[in-house]
Structure 1
């Protein structure tokens, strides 16, 4: 088993309901969700949109290795109605749900599909501060 921190975001529809649904599916398909940060709202990052994001970070204990975890998070995104995942070089778009693997235990890796730890954690306040909150909740 390994602990992974996942970033969740939604800016289409009911963001709170979308994040809660994603957390339910993570419990069902990925593992034990051990802690969830408070939900925060943020402006879109990396593109212009009139839709604000609802964001959170969760800690999950999983038996899935990193690439299978990525496949499962993308399966959950599709199950919730996400139809397009941007490719490198493409601009970001509004989305019903986005699930990013931020860290996976102490794994460091990089391939065409996944970089661990996520390279933009420190640049994104909507990830950095919820992650700190999630870590704090784990220790309570």
Structure 2
């Protein structure tokens, strides 16, 4: 089984944001993914929705044996386990969240399905906070 290099972005704007992110990283590690590199934390305003809750975000590189869809399933399980109720694909918009984990890049793969698009174009090209976090990762 080969390992895949994956760039993720994690964010939280509810509860103790840094602790939420640290717990999500631990859960990613507990499911067999190796955390290879972690950015600094970055505080940012919500993007594409209004909220008085500021986001805490980080970028990470993981090494995984999971396929893109298996990794997405793993991430969605972690989000639900941590109390995330609404997924933006289901609700059609963004809301406050305990944890959000996005797959930004998966090796050099270009992939598109109903559930997942890699690379994650909004984070790579449209969102300022993402570009700041990803500058040393991409």
Instruction: Give the TM-score category using the shorter length.
Output: over 0.9
TM-score (norm 1): 0.92
Could you list the per-position Cα deviations for residues 92-120 of structure 1 after superposition, in whole angstroms to 9, with x for gaps in the alignment?
00000000000000110111000010011
Point out 4+ residue stretches in structure 1 off by more than 2 angstroms: none
Could you list the per-position Cα deviations for residues 2-48 of structure 1 after superposition, in whole angstroms to 9, with x for gaps in the alignment?
00000100000011101111111111114110000000000000000
List aligned pairs for 1:122-137, cutoff 5 A.
122-133=125-136, 135=137
**CA–CA separation in structure 1 for the residues paired with 2:126 and 2:88:** 19
Shift of 1:88: 6.6
List aligned pairs for 1:1-140, cutoff 5 A.
1-87=3-89, 90-120=92-122, 121-133=124-136, 135=137
Structure 1 unmatched ranges of 5 or more: none
Structure 2 unmatched ranges of 5 or more: none
CA RMSD across the alignment: 1.4
Q: Number of aligned pairs?
A: 135
**CA–CA separation in structure 2 for the residues paired with 1:36 and 1:91:** 28
**CA–CA separation in structure 2 for the residues paired with 1:96 and 1:89:** 16
